Chain A
Amino acid sequence: MRGRAVAAVLVFPGSNCDRDCARAWEAVTGQAADFVWHKETRLPDYDLLILPGGFSFGDYLRCGAIARFSPVIAEVKRLADRGHYVLGICNGFQILTEVGLLPGAMRRNRDLLFICRDVYLRVENIRTDFTCGYSTGAIISYPIAHGDGGFSIDSRGLRELQDKDRIVFRYAGPDGRVVAGGSPNGSLDEIAGIINGRGNVLGLMPHPERLAEAILGGDDGRVMFQSIFQTITGATV
């Protein structure tokens, strides 16, 4: 058992949730996270890399399209290939799909407006190392804050996600029911977050770091950071 999980938050020039992710990680685990500038070419063996939300390079062309070419991405791939954990939140999720570590792509929100609000999510898979602290079928609340969050994928890709149990979060109503067309952004199959086949790369549009402290209006996000911390260290927080 190790007592420490070494986590880092990647910083692209337009990242704006980088400090938030580090702050939430520290608030939950009591351990500071490193910041890693996107031009880095060699990273230590971090247990966890967080790709934060924001507008990595202004995202004028397409969210995450340019970030994919940052030098640090080779290292993200290297660590992911070796089974280290990678968590992409919002813009981080968009980058992971552009990089190809996760399938699919994000479209403009259905109503063409940026949406910032708390949403209900159903935790569809609690066997991942990111969600093991949640109970089966848990209904949780995380905020979303994005303009391009409509998850999209071809039908074969969707079937694979469904069959392999790789859909981790779905948008739901307050009663936990997932209804077709019920996502706030037009996501296919109401998908809010998915994991890779190996189970070490998670991407999601909602922001767990924004509701990880009760004073901010809820702490459902805490459990995600606790889960991954516990998986890495064997220690509870």
Chain B
Amino acid sequence: MSDLDRDRIDPWREHGLTTAEYELIIQLMGRKPNYGEMALFGIMWSEHCSYKNSRAQLRKFPTTGPQVIQGPGENAGVVDVGDGWGVAFKIESHNHPSAIEPYQGAATGIGGIIRDIFAVGARPIASLDSLRFGALDNNRTRRLLNGVVAGIAGYGNCLGIPTVAGEVYFHPDYQENPLVGAMSVGLVRVDRIFKGSATGVGNVVMVVGAKTGRDGIKGASFASEELSDSDTDKRPNVQVGDPFMEKLLLEATLEILDRGLVIGLQDLGAAGLTSSAAEMAGRAGNGLYLDIDKVPLREEGLTPWEIMLSESQERMLLVVDPIRVGDIQAVFDKWDLDAAAIGEVTGDGYFTVRKGQEILARVPAGLLTDQAPVNFRSVREPAYFKEKKKADFICEHEYGDVAELFKRLLASPNLASRRWIYEQYDHMVGLNTVGRPGGDAAVLRLPGGSRKGLALTVDCNSRYVYLNPRLGGAIAVAEAARNLAAVGARPLALTNCLNFGNPENPEIYWQFVQATDGLAEAARILDIPVTGGNVSFYNEYNGRPIPPTPTIGMVGLLDEIENRLTVDFKVSGDLIFVVGKTREELGASEVHYLLTGRDEGEVPELDLALALRLNQFLVVAAGRKLLRSAHDVAEGGLAVALAESALAGGLGVDLKIELDVSPPALLFGESQSRVVISVRPDRSGELETLARSFALPLTYLGVVGGRDFRLVAGGLALVVPLAELADLHQNSLARLAAL
């Protein structure tokens, strides 16, 4: 575009700034910004970097607790797991890049979040993924699914970081805007945590790792816009991930951190050098200059602003003492990587971009990072909120053959085993994966012969959030916590990945406010602080928003890893119980959706006090080795949970269930805060006493044994050979996903 063209339209619009924002910039700077400065503001004041639409809401979250070493605002949160170790963890989305190029979009999503983890000095030990796609009976969805899974596998497997858990759901409203959330977890000595801060005037700023090329220019502002058919030419170059390069960068970075050569560091992510350098300066309250002539380039002819905004992957920004520059270069030489001094921390408070001696931009750093206007968006309750509460549930007699329905559910895209996905991920490398994928939460052992175990999960039911954002947000937290408790772990802290539509739409913003309210309330009552996360707005396609999806990633701790609980029924003759209350609740259920194709009805009730007691009960029961198995009851209800435990153990069940609800609700209703457990017959008395002491309802269901899934409830009898269920459940996703 020529300068003439640029003048013809409002130039700030090209950088995603509103006229009001542009005027605010003039007021704050006392002059008009030049082209480059406008680019800086455009990037740094974008939603992606400034959280201008969400910041006010995020303040609601509880963020402190004795276990929290580092809360939100840094590269990753860190919690204390004892013995001098901290666990660093964070989740982030990479939705729009994955919509365009699923393999590279997902791969670079993994790469970015892993850099956030080693930027705090932690060695990454596990990844998790949270995925959403459109309906699976569609070619494009299958291509996206195959591409995203292969991208996560290709990157994570090569790096040698196991992908140990995850979740995936399918719904037509994700058709053109799939969600790809990646969570990384690392281990760090608590006295060796690094910050993304440019402290110490006179210190040198270095860029290390890969060379800079023309990748993903303007990804941050791209992430802050809706996708539509009409703007294919707006799309940036897709960033391409190089996991081998990342592996070298990881090892080299951990080596220089280990040797104490670094003061502060940060990943180069969206908006590249611009946002990382400005954020590092902003956190320290310092100024900083960069000389773009010093940045190692992959190709010729990049303009200064292409260099500043490039999103080339596998790079880090370091702040180091000048006397360490040589030592750092020596380490990066050994790994065949670039390490270039490109600037300096200054005391003037200005973020300055130079090309040699020529100054291209000069802006007070604080204006970029802290002065982005906070938007208090208007909210409006959508009409659907009340309408959708009403639903005509299909009566028992209309279910037809219950056995057929049961089989259909177990083979359906949202409930079938995720084996086809997690077997593409190396989930064992590192020799820490004690609880593998397929259970309620992954369990990893901790170093140094520790007896403790780390439990990890990621979860969100977006149908609940859509139908009742406040309750759905709370359920997402409660469900993730229950996943951890179901392996016997105490939840420690959570990270969130808040995926919503366009916040400028008051109905979307209402969803956002409500969901974060619910999330905050559940986090407070369950005592699980929030240590970080990300917000992804503008997840829409041609004006159609995704279902609101505030995904929760959570870490927990087992005092004795040997006491961990698993989902599988283990011994014939063991007694099966459900802990928690089963209500007449079929609203928002998977079975209702399967039968009608509609998201509707009342979201199940959530009693947070009871949820907390249930979690505590499970931790105590695990500690006493009282339970032989435990499995969270989630989508698909009691019948599906029971089938999963039976299939995992390869043992049938003989159940005779008496509960005061209709058979459909009994089998497939999704009442919250329930767990299916099995116990040795001679310890059932002890179990009853313990459940009573936590004031938890306990219902006997039947016994483990045989080769059939056999269930009698009221007038209804369900008998299916386990082998038949096994094939449907285990192999369905591979069949459905086949290209």
A–B direct touch in complex (beta carbons closer than 8 A): yes
- The stretch of B101-109, B242-250, B260-268, B374-382 in contact with A is B242-250
Instruction: Evaluate contact between A57 and B429: CB separation under 8 angstroms.
Output: no
The answer to whether A215 and B158 touch across the interface, beta carbons within 8 angstroms, is no
- B534 CB → nearest A CB, Å: 27
**A215 to B445, Cβ gap below 8 A?**
yes
Assess the A58–B242 pair: CB atoms within 8 A.
yes
Contact B335 A13 (CB under 8 A): yes
How far is it, in angstroms, between the C-alpha of A115 and the C-alpha of B154 when the chains are bound?
12
Q: At the interface, yes or no: A149 with Cβ under 8 Å from chain B?
A: no
- Residue B425 is within 8 A (CB to CB) of chain A in the complex: yes
Inter-chain contact B430/A20, CB cutoff 8 Å: yes
Residues of B within 8 A of A113 (CB): 150, 423-424
Is A216 part of the contact surface with B, judged by Cβ < 8 Å?
yes
Cβ B431 vs Cβ A58 within 8 A = no
Whether the Cβ atoms of A57 and B427 lie closer than 8 Å is no
Q: Which residues of B contact A210 (CB under 8 A)?
A: 428-429, 431
25 A-B pairs with CB atoms under 8 Å apart are A13-B251, A13-B335, A16-B429, A19-B431, A55-B158, A57-B244, A60-B244, A113-B424, A114-B150, A114-B153, A114-B154, A114-B426, A115-B423, A116-B422, A116-B425, A116-B426, A116-B427, A145-B429, A207-B428, A210-B428, A210-B429, A215-B434, A215-B562, A216-B428, A217-B434
- Interface assignment of A54: CB less than 8 Å from any CB of chain B: yes
Instruction: Tell me if B57 is interfacial: C-beta within 8 Å of chain A.
Output: no
If A114-B153, A145-B428 touch, whether A13 touches B248 (CB-CB below 8 Å) is yes
Q: Which of B425-449 contact A (CB under 8 A)?
A: 425-431, 433-434, 436, 445
- Alpha-carbon distance A24/B429, docked complex (angstroms): 12
A203 at the binding interface (Cβ < 8 Å): no
Q: Report the bound CA distance from A20 to B248 in whole Å.
A: 18
Alpha-carbon gap, A19 to B429, bound state (A): 10
Which residues, 120 to 174 on B, are CB-close (under 8 Å) to A?
150, 153-154, 157-160
User: Which residue from B154, B157, B251 sits with its C-beta under 8 Å from A145?
Assistant: B157
Contact call A145/B158, Cβ cutoff below 8 A: no
Chain B residues with Cβ under 8 A from A207's Cβ?
428
Q: Verify if B494 is at the interface (C-beta below 8 Å from A).
A: no
A14 / chain B contacts, CB cutoff of 8 Å: 158, 244, 247-248
- Is B561 engaged at the interface, CB distance under 8 Å to the other chain? yes
Contacts of A127 in B (CB 8 A): none
- B427:A16 contact, CB within 8 angstroms: no
Known contacts A20-B431, A213-B431, A215-B562; can you find 17 more A-B pairs with CB under 8 A?
A: A13-B244, A13-B247, A13-B336, A16-B158, A16-B429, A20-B430, A24-B431, A54-B160, A55-B243, A58-B243, A114-B157, A115-B423, A116-B428, A143-B428, A145-B426, A216-B433, A217-B434
A116–B424 contact, CB under 8 A? yes
When distances are taken between beta carbons in the complex, the residues of chain A under 8 Å from B429 are 16-17, 20, 53, 145, 210
**Residues of B close to A20: CB separation below 8 A:** 429-431
Contacts of B336 in A (CB 8 A): 13
In-complex Cβ contact of A23 among B243, B423, B431 (8 A): B431
Complex: A227 Cα to B392 Cα, angstroms: 67
Collect the chain A residues with CB atoms within 8 Å of residue B247's CB.
Answer: 13-14, 16, 55
**Within 8 Å of chain B (Cβ to Cβ): is A98?**
no
Q: Taking CB as reference atom, which chain B residue is nearest A143?
A: B428
Interface centre among B157, B248, B426, B427 (most CB of A within 10 A): B426
Q: Which residues of B contact A (CB under 8 A)?
A: 150, 153-154, 157-160, 242-245, 247-248, 251, 335-336, 422-431, 433-434, 436, 445, 561-562
Complex contacts, B433 vs chain A, CB 8 Å: 216
A209 contacts B by Cβ under 8 Å: yes
CA distance A113 to B248 in the complex (A): 25
* Min distance, Cβ A219 to any Cβ of chain B, angstroms: 12
Q: Mark A35-78, 1 if CB is under 8 A from B, else 0.
A: 00000000000000000011101111000000000000000000
User: Which range contains the number of A residues in contact with the other chain?
Assistant: 20 to 34
Residues of chain B with a CB closer than 8 A to A13's CB: 244, 247-248, 251, 335-336
Question: Once bound together, how far apart are the Cα atoms of A207 and B426, in whole Å?
Answer: 12
B150: A residues at CB distance < 8 A: 113-114
Most A Cβ at <10 Å: residue of B251, B423, B425: B423
**Which parts of A5-45 form the interface with B (CB within 8 Å)?**
13-17, 19-20, 23-24
User: B436: shortest Cβ distance to chain A, in Å?
Assistant: 7
Cross-chain contact B160 with A17 (CB below 8 angstroms): yes
* Cβ contact of B434, chosen from A15, A209, A216, cutoff 8 A: A216
A145 to B433, CA, bound (A): 14
By a CB distance below 8 angstroms, the chain A residues around B424 are 113-116
- Chain A stretch 113-169: residues in CB contact (< 8 A) with chain B: 113-117, 143, 145, 147
Please give the distance in Å from B105's CB to the nearest CB on chain A: 18
| Residue of chain B at shortest CB distance from A113 | B424
Q: How far is the CA of A13 from the CA of B248 in the complex (A)?
A: 7
Could you tell me the distance between the alpha carbons of A19 and B154 in the complex, rounded to whole angstroms?
21
Residues of B close to A19: CB separation below 8 A: 430-431
Smallest Cβ-Cβ distance to A209: which chain B residue: B431
CA distance A15 to B158 in the complex (A): 9
Is there contact, CB below 8 Å, between A116 and B160?
A: no
CA distance A20 to B432 in the complex (A): 9
With contact pairs A116-B427, A210-B431 given, residues A58 and B244 touching in the complex (Cβ less than 8 Å): yes
The winner among B150, B247, B562 for most chain A CB atoms within 10 A is: B247
Complex-state Cα separation, A236 to B54, whole angstroms: 63
Closest Cβ of chain B: how far from A226's Cβ, in Å? 17
Residues of B within 8 A of A55 (CB): 157-158, 243-244, 247
Please, which residue of chain B has its CB at the minimum distance from the CB of A18? B160
Nearest opposing residue in chain B for A23, CB measure: B431
Min distance, Cβ B76 to any Cβ of chain A, angstroms: 22
Nearest CB of chain B from residue A53's CB, rounded to whole Å? 8
Give complex CA distance A59, B154 in Å.
11
Q: Which residues of B contact A145 (CB under 8 A)?
A: 157, 426, 428-429
B427 / chain A contacts, CB cutoff of 8 Å: 116
Q: Which A residues lie within 8 Å of B561 (CB)?
A: 215
| Nearest CB in chain A: distance from B348 CB, A | 41
User: How far is the CB of B642 from the nearest CB of chain A, in Å?
Assistant: 24
Task: Say how far B242's CB is from chain A's closest CB, in angstroms.
Answer: 7
What is the distance, in angstroms, from B12's C-beta to the closest C-beta of chain A? 42
A69-126 with Cβ < 8 A to chain B: 113-117
Query: Within the complex, what minimum Cβ distance (angstroms) separates B23 from chain A?
Result: 50
Please report the C-alpha to C-alpha distance between residue A55 and residue B434 in the assembled complex, in whole angstroms.
24
Q: Are A16 and B436 in contact (CB under 8 A)?
A: no
Which residues of B lie under 8 Å from residue A213 when comparing CB positions? 431
Residue of A nearest to B419 (CB): A117
Q: Quick one: closest A residue to B431, CB to CB?
A: A20
Contact of B423 among A59, A116, A216 (CB under 8 A): A116
Q: A217 and B244: CB pair below 8 A? A: no
Collect the chain B residues with CB atoms within 8 Å of residue A60's CB.
244
Contact call A216/B426, Cβ cutoff below 8 A: no
A121 to B423, CA, bound (A): 18
A113 to B335, CA, bound (A): 30
Across the A-B interface, the 4 shortest Cβ-Cβ residue pairs: A16-B160, A58-B244, A55-B158, A145-B426
Which of chain A's residues have a CB closer than 8 A to the CB of B159?
Answer: 16
- Chain A contacts of B242 at CB under 8 A? 58
Residues of A within 8 A of B154 (CB): 114
Among B160, B242, B433, chain A packs the most CB atoms within 10 A around the CB of: B160
A116 CA to B434 CA, complexed, in Å: 15
Residues of chain B within 8 A (CB-CB) of A54 are 160
Tell me how far the C-beta of B541 lies from the nearest C-beta in chain A, rounded to whole angstroms. Answer: 29
Smallest CB gap from B159: residue in A: A16
- Least CB distance from B551 to A in Å reads 24
C-alpha spacing A16/B335, complex, angstroms? 15
Q: What's the least CB distance linking A180 to chain B, in Å? A: 21
How far, in whole Å, are A55 and B128 apart by their CA atoms in the complex?
21
Q: Residues of A contacting B248 with CB < 8 Å?
A: 13-14
Smallest CB separation, A206 vs chain B (Å): 11
The docked-state distance in angstroms from the alpha carbon of A214 to that of B445 is 13
Assess A58 versus B158: contact at CB under 8 Å? Given A17-B429, A116-B423: yes
CA distance A16 to B561 in the complex (A): 25
Chain B proximity of A30: nearest CB distance (Å) = 13
- Of A19, A116, A209, chain B has the most CB atoms within 10 Å of the CB of A116
